[in-house]
Amino acid sequence: MPRLTEQLIRKRAEHNDGVLPDLEEVALHQQELEKIESLEACCRHIQILLLQNNIIPKMEGLNKLRELSYLNLALNNISMIEGIDQCESLKKLDLTVNFVGVEALEESIYNLKANMALEDLYLLGNPCTDWPGCRAYVVAHLPQIKQLDGKLIIPNERILARRQLPKLTEDLERAIEESRIKKAAEAGIPVSEGAYTKESRNEMYLEMAEQKEEKDKNERRRMGTEPKEPRVTPGVLNARGEIRQCNEGKYSFEIDDTTFPDKIVFELGVPKYLDTSALDVDVNPLYVRVIVKDKVTQLKLPSEVQVDASKVQRSRTTGCLRIDMPLVDARLVRGGKAPAQQEIEPLKPAKDGSRGAVPKASVSVRDIYHDRKKVTKEKPVDLLRAVKTTRTSADDDDDEVPPLDNRS
């Protein structure tokens, strides 16, 4: 249910540009209010206060409103008139259709004797008006009022009421006793559906408040002003208990584990002009997690890294986020070739027949064993022989070859 706050009062004071210190009139009807508050603190000069058609059960928070002249509390759940004895300027009080019964009538009228400026009083629709002597009792005790329930009080009526006051007091005591007996007899009996009681009014107004809130919510949603519910940040592990891998912000990223043999480099392309305070970086031995404006980017690392030696930087030109994460075991080289081993020559027997020195390093066993079935014999290499050729005299004269010309 809504509360009577300064914000609500300022909203209802649009006719005064939202200014509260010099506010003289405010309408707070049909707001489903349950308590009168905040008025004494911010509206000391209020003169007309309209609080009808709410579910206020008690008159409170009004005593410091010395300039209040008209108070409308019709259609509420008030069962006793109280809390306004210091409102010295009050002239009109409307309590139509409330729950002031005969049990509280005597004390309620006594609380109004201090309001000497009161001229107009409305009690119509309260349970106390079911008692026939209610009007005469009120007129006899409150000589300052001039009108009751919209009907002018003439002098003859006032004189007659004063004469009947002792008898009215006795009748009131009997009416109170009868009312208590009746309530005791009705205790435990369910109230008939549609009966006008405090409980039924509360239920009705709660339902109305829910409908109003739903209507306002739909209107805000249509206008695009509905506040979004706070987003729940996903945890580190997914439903299967594995490290979650996600990029909710759709940022470009790169994870490099090959360029540097001793570390892993992670780069995330966050917006250039994003404040660094909006970034939340968490480096774990097995994963890296970055939260950018409630959007999570989390990746599982290919190798275990050193958290305490990791370094987080951000580029001043591009705004890119860079995280250098040294490996726990830097000797492991990922994706590269193993280092070349030194070639070791086989042992050779000493020329003098001695056993020779004991080798200090490891010995290669290459070409020691040959399997005749698997190893083919080496084929002899045929060497080219030089062939010497000679020319005969018969080869000198050839009919087909023309003779050479001798030029001198």
Residue 189 scores a pLDDT above 90: no
The domain ranges of the chain are 6-186, 246-326
Give residue 2's pLDDT.
78
Q: What is the pLDDT of residues 58-72, one digit of tens each?
A: 999 999 999 999 999
Fold agreement between 6-186 and 246-326: no
- Per-residue pLDDT band for 384 (boundaries 50, 70, 90) equals very low
Residue 398 scores a pLDDT above 80: no
Average pLDDT over the chain reads 83
Give residue 203's pLDDT.
83
The three-class DSSP label of residue 170 is helix
Higher pLDDT, 13 or 367: 13
Residue 78 scores a pLDDT above 50: yes
Compute the average pLDDT of residues 316-323.
92
- Per-residue pLDDT band for 382 (boundaries 50, 70, 90) equals low
Phi, psi at residue 128, to the nearest 5°?
Answer: -65, -25
Higher pLDDT, 373 or 199: 199
Token pair listed for 304: 């275990």
CA distance 298 to 280: 12
Higher pLDDT, 358 or 342: 342
Q: What is the pLDDT of residues 126-185, one digit of tens each?
A: 999 999 999 999 999 999 999 999 999 999 999 999 999 999 999 999 999 998 888 888
CA distance 194 to 203: 11
6-186 topology per CATH: 3.80.10
Nearest of 84, 130, 88 to residue 109 by alpha carbon: 84
> Which residue matches tokens 């009131």?
172
By CB atoms closer than 10 A (0-12, 13-18, 19+), residue 161 is buried
Q: What is the pLDDT of residues 324-338, one digit of tens each?
A: 999 998 765 455 455
**Share of residues in the chain with pLDDT > 70 (%):** 78
- Per-residue pLDDT band for 230 (boundaries 50, 70, 90) equals confident
CATH number for 246-326: choose from 2.60.40.790, 1.20.1250.20, 1.10.10.60, 3.40.50.150.
2.60.40.790
